[in-house]
Structure formats: C-alpha cells, structure tokens
Structure 1
C-alpha cells in the first residue's frame, strides 16, 4: 500500500519553528523519507498540487529555507520525496470535504482543504492506503476518522509518528520482507539472517535496549519481543506447537522456523542471553547468534541445545 502524508508531517508553522526549533521536526521527516527510500515497500502519494504547495506562497518551514542550514538539508529532503512518489490524479467533486475530527494544523486552510479532497478521492476510489500522521495528530486512531461522513476503516491505516519513525510500518515491513525472500528463493540454512542490515539500521542493539532493566519478568518480555521482531523481519514464522513441546517449568522456548526439507531452519530465542540458538532440520544445534546476526558461540555437541521436532 502507498502512503499519503498528513501535511503536519511536511510543514511546521513559522511560530512553532521559532519557539520549538527545527531539529526534531526535520529528523522525523528525514527518518521517514530515508526509510521509505531504503526499503521500497511503499510510495508517497503525490501530484502537481502537492508539489506546488511546497514552493508556492506562503512558503512554510522548512521549505522556506530561511536559514542557511536548510540550503543543504531541503534539497536532500526534496530528493527523497521526489524519488519515492507515485502519481495520483485526484477526482474533484462539488462536495464540501470534511474530516472528523479535524486534524490539528498550523498551515494555510487551502492546503488542508486540498488534503481532505485528496483523502476523499482515495476513499471513493476504494484504494487502500496509509495515512501517515504528523507529530501533532498522533492521538488519532483509524476508527475515529470519518471522511465526508463515510467511515474509512476498510481502506485506511493510520500510521502514527513516533521516536523511531521506522517502526510505524513494522507489520507491513515484515510482510514485504517475506514476499521478497519468497521471490528470491531464500535458503535459510545457508543464510540465516538475509535482512539483518535492515534490522540493524532501525533497531538499537539488544544490550542498549536492556540497559537499566533489572526486573527478570520485564527483561524476559523485552528479549522475546526483540527476538520475535528480528526473526520475522528475516522471514521466519512462529511455531507455537513446537515452542510448547520444547518448553518446561524451568525453560521457556520461543521457536521460529523457515525453509523446507533439508533447508528447514529453526531459531530458538535464548531468553537468558538474549540471542538465538539455531538448529537444523533435524533439530540439531548449529550454534548461537546474537540479535545483530553475529555468531557468538559454536554448536553444542552434547545435545543440550537441540530441539525435539
């Protein structure tokens, strides 16, 4: 699915610009655009009017380039947008376009009016799309938003901005990764972590993530969450039955799998060390890898880390 950007993610008012500074806003926008450019699983819905809104009067920060710093950063942002757009010519109607509740906006009403018209056109065409909400509108949820009195829960997914903006698309990135690996006929027994660079680019290391976490239950939950995300982004799916079969009162195992026949590979999250124990198609241990895809220990020949298939 493609993404339409809430103008609040593209512009900041002059008053906000002066009172709050520019770094956080630009970092959010730059992070989003860089992620889309790197991973290619969504395009920015765009057309000539959106283009004109950037440059026509009144120009809003950061596009007004009132500071010399932005003589450098604005072309970079614009290039990232321009490289990742998909043209959509919106159908104009005589309907007065409404959005309930109104999004918070500090830009001209003309921009907001066109944005609502664009949303309505996408909605009427039955296109499925993401609505990426800017920082001021993160309190909204899909089920709250109505376009011209028509609920949009069928084809609209709100993506809220957050401190690490890339994770807004997490579920959709996983699906994209699985589809791409399928096309490439990936062999997990040869390459355990085909998307580890993606994981490392958008996720802090496990050690950093666990800093200051002393509660054992909280640490367990965080390790399972982190390991699950890394496994799924690398094409593995959770096997609940096998996990239960290999768990007991003293040891919890969360097992993910990929591949078929002799290429079948199992990842078992080691909660104590925050790593993966990797086993082959027979359940025999092949070694231990951390969540950054680095091998940290050799195979356990004693059978202590094998799993029962």
Structure 2
C-alpha cells in the first residue's frame, strides 16, 4: 500500500509542480548543454523529494529502516532545498559546493563514518584516507548525476533501476519506495517530457546512491564494488568525459554536450531509444552481479562499458572545443 500511495503522490505532485511552473514561467531555457529544443517546465524533482522524505519518515516510524541510514538520507533535505533555490535563481558555485560538502559530512557522520576501503588486494583503514574517499565519492555522485540528467527519462530510469536492483540484492522497503517515487515523476518526464527533474531531483538521487554505496559497504566491504558495478553506466560516462575535457584543456565549468548519451542524441537517436539502450546495459550489469564472482563482474563490467563507449564514439566522435 505504501508503494501505491507514494506513486500516486509523486504523480499528482508532479502535475501540480508542472502547473505552477507553467503559471510562473519557470522554464528550462534552451542553452549550450540542452538536448531539448523548446523551453520546458523544470523542478519536477520536488515531487520526488517530498514523496521520498515523507515515505522515509513512515518507514522510520514503523522500524522498517535502520537509524544510521535514515538519518544519513535525511541530510538530503538540505541538499534539495539549496538545489531548488539553484533551479530558481542560479546560486554561485561556491555556495552549492559548500552545502554539498556540509551534507556529505553530515551524511558520513550519521553513518558512523566509513572505516574500511576494500580494494580486493588491499584493505585501507586509515581514517583520513577512508573519510576523504567517502567525501569525494559523495560529492562526485551528487554532481555526476546532475551532469547525466540531460535527456527525457534518462536520470529517472537510472534511479528506478538502482532502486529495483537494490531491492533485489539487499532487500529494504526504502529501495522500493525510491523506485515508485521516481516512477510517479517519470510518467510526466518520458519522451517527450512535459517537465524536467531539475537539480533538486538529480542531486538528491546522486546523494542517495552515494549513501547506499557507503552504508552497504560498511555492512560488507565487498558491497562497495557491487554498487560501483550497478552504477557503472553513469560514473563511467561522467568520469571519462570529465577526464577527456581536462586533458584537452577545456574549461570544465563551461556547458557542453559531450557525454555519451548526449552524443547519441546528436547522432540521431531519440531520447527514449537512448534510455532503453541504457536499460539494456544496466540489466547486463545486474546480471553480472547475480551470476558471476564479484571480481569477474567488475572486470566484465569494465569491458562492457568500454565497448559501449567505443560504440558511441563510432556514431559521434568526442571533439574538442
């Protein structure tokens, strides 16, 4: 029943946010990063956030989520608030980063810290190194999810996949809750989108993935690599794109359309076809986790992601500015 109510709430709230955005002309204009061609309402992530946090409160009230995980996820409220302001008035980067650091530290504190970084051949237990790793992971996941929110349904479908994969692998009603909250929004965001998620939604989803990664890695150190494989489609695209732009001495703060998913759209793929292709890759990644030893699944995931990026490169090359 919780899932059904959460879906209806997210669906209805997205409609209300869209109606308000149209009335107040809160539209995402076409710019150098855009893959859409007409101004479209944004801020639909507010519906995901409100439903998500209300559902988390319900789960905590009835003892269906561990306290450290609940309070760590709750720091996302502050992140959403600042991201929503950024959607409206475009805050300065140092303000956004400062809040993200505060949220990351708060989330880590709520989890009780991150104590062991398991590399397979070596376990790192230095508090300084493990905390720095966890902090950077949270900050990178927050921002890369935002970078990958650029075409209809892409960020939302990834969130649903991760929610369902988490539910299958680890159990926990919070995973199902996240999936249905996003699904209620995705109905309005599917190609062609009637509303966009905005930073308020994408930063929240990136933060959630980071907290899930760290929390389950504290329960079992190898789970870190499980989440890295599951989230491979997004982090591989974002990280490689950032690295290539850095090596080409591009201004990293400059808007661009060089991520793999954006280049496929430029090559003529429809948004929904890119999303469905991404879901095929995600299902293969999940299959590796389910049916292969962890070291083999990680190795095979790198091979698969490499082949995907080569495929994209052949259709639309990565060119310097």
TM-score range, shorter chain: under 0.3
Largest Rg, 1 or 2: 1
Structure with the higher helix share, 1 or 2 = 2
More contact order relative to length (CA 8 Å, sep ≥ 6):
2
TM-score w.r.t. the length of structure 1 is 0.25
Structure with the higher strand share, 1 or 2 = 1
